[in-house]
Amino acid sequence: MKKEIVKPSILPGFMELLPYQQIAFNNMLDTIRKNFENYGFLPIDTPIIEKSEILLAKGGGETEKQIYRFNKGDNDLSLRFDLTVPLARYVSQYISSLTFPFRRYQIGKVFRGERNQKGRFREFYQCDIDIIGNGKLNIINDAEIPSIIYSTFKDLGFESFSIRINNRKVLNGFFDSLGIADKSEVLKVIDKLDKTGIDAVKKELADICENGNIVEKIIEFVNIGGSNPEILEALNQLGIENEMFKEGLEELSKVVRFINLFGVPDKNCKIDLKIARGLDYYTGTVYETILDDYPGIGSVCSGGRYDNLAEYYTDQKLPGVGISIGLTRLFYQLREAGIVLDKDTASLTQVLIVPMNDNIEYAAMTANSLRAESIITEVYMEDAKLSKKLAYANKLGIPYVILIGDEEIDNNLLTLKDMRVGEQNKLSPEEAVRHIKEGLL
Give residues 354-383 in contact with a copy of itself (rule: CB under 8 A): 360-361, 364-365, 367-368, 371, 374, 376-379, 381-383
Which of 338-354 are b and which e, b meaning 16 or more Cβ less than 10 Å from the residue's Cβ? eeebeeeebbebbbbbb
Sign of CA dihedral 31, 35, 40, 43: negative
Which letter does DSSP use for residue 14 in this model?
Answer: B
Instruction: Check: CB of residue 285 under 8 Å from CB of residue 248.
Output: no
Verify binding: residue 306, a copy of itself, rule CB under 8 A. Answer: no
Which letter does DSSP use for residue 9 in this model?
Answer: -
Q: How far is the CB of 293 from a copy of itself (least distance, A)?
A: 26
The stretch near a copy of itself (CB under 8 A) out of 138-146, 171-179, 207-215, 270-278 is 138-146
Strand 377-379 to 351-355 pairing: parallel
Name the residue nearer to a copy of itself (CB basis): 95 or 224: 95
| Residues within window 83-122 making contact with a copy of itself, judged by CB under 8 A | 89-90, 92-94, 97-99, 101, 103-104, 109, 111, 113, 122
The stretch near a copy of itself (CB under 8 A) out of 5-13, 208-216, 271-279, 428-436 is 5-13
Name the residue nearer to a copy of itself (CB basis): 174 or 313: 313
Q: Site size for a copy of itself, by CB under 8 A?
A: 103
Cα Rg, the chain, nearest whole Å: 28
Verify binding: residue 220, a copy of itself, rule CB under 8 A. Answer: no
Verify binding: residue 349, a copy of itself, rule CB under 8 A. Answer: yes
Name the residue nearer to a copy of itself (CB basis): 97 or 387: 97
Name the residue nearer to a copy of itself (CB basis): 78 or 166: 78
What backbone torsions phi and psi does residue 214 show, to the nearest 5 degrees? -65, -40
Name the residue nearer to a copy of itself (CB basis): 134 or 211: 134
CA–CA distance, 404 with 358 (Å, rounded to integer): 10
Calculate ∠ Cα 306-309-310, nearest 5°.
155
Q: Is 28 exposed, middle or buried (0-12, 13-18, 19+ CB in 10 A)?
A: buried
| Residues within window 67-86 making contact with a copy of itself, judged by CB under 8 A | 68-73, 75, 77, 79
Q: How far is the CB of 359 from a copy of itself (least distance, A)?
A: 11
Calculate ∠ Cα 54-305-251, nearest 5°.
160
Q: How far is the CB of 327 from a copy of itself (least distance, A)?
A: 11
| Residue 365, SS3 per DSSP | helix
Q: How far is the CB of 61 from a copy of itself (least distance, A)?
A: 16
Q: How far is the CB of 3 from a copy of itself (least distance, A)?
A: 6
Verify binding: residue 8, a copy of itself, rule CB under 8 A. Answer: yes
CA–CA distance, 126 with 357 (Å, rounded to integer): 49
| Residues within window 230-259 making contact with a copy of itself, judged by CB under 8 A | 258
Q: How far is the CB of 11 from a copy of itself (least distance, A)?
A: 6
Q: Residue 142: what residue type?
A: D
Q: How would DSSP label each residue in 99-136?
A: -SSEEEEEEEEEE--PPP-TT--SEEEEEEEEEE-SS-
Verify binding: residue 297, a copy of itself, rule CB under 8 A. Answer: no
| Residues within window 149-168 making contact with a copy of itself, judged by CB under 8 A | 151
Name the residue nearer to a copy of itself (CB basis): 150 or 294: 150
| Of the residues 126, 141, 172, 228, which one makes contact with a copy of itself according to CB under 8 A | 141
What backbone torsions phi and psi does residue 326 show, to the nearest 5 degrees? -85, 90
Q: Which of 320, 303, 324 is nearest to 311 (CA)?
A: 320
Helix pair angle (228-237, 243-261), 10° resolution: 160
Q: How far is the CB of 292 from a copy of itself (least distance, A)?
A: 24
Name the residue nearer to a copy of itself (CB basis): 267 or 395: 395
What backbone torsions phi and psi does residue 108 show, to the nearest 5 degrees? -175, 175
Binding mask 27-66 for a copy of itself (x = CB under 8 A): ----------xxxx-xxxxxxxxxx-xx--x---------
Name the residue nearer to a copy of itself (CB basis): 315 or 438: 315
Verify binding: residue 22, a copy of itself, rule CB under 8 A. Answer: yes
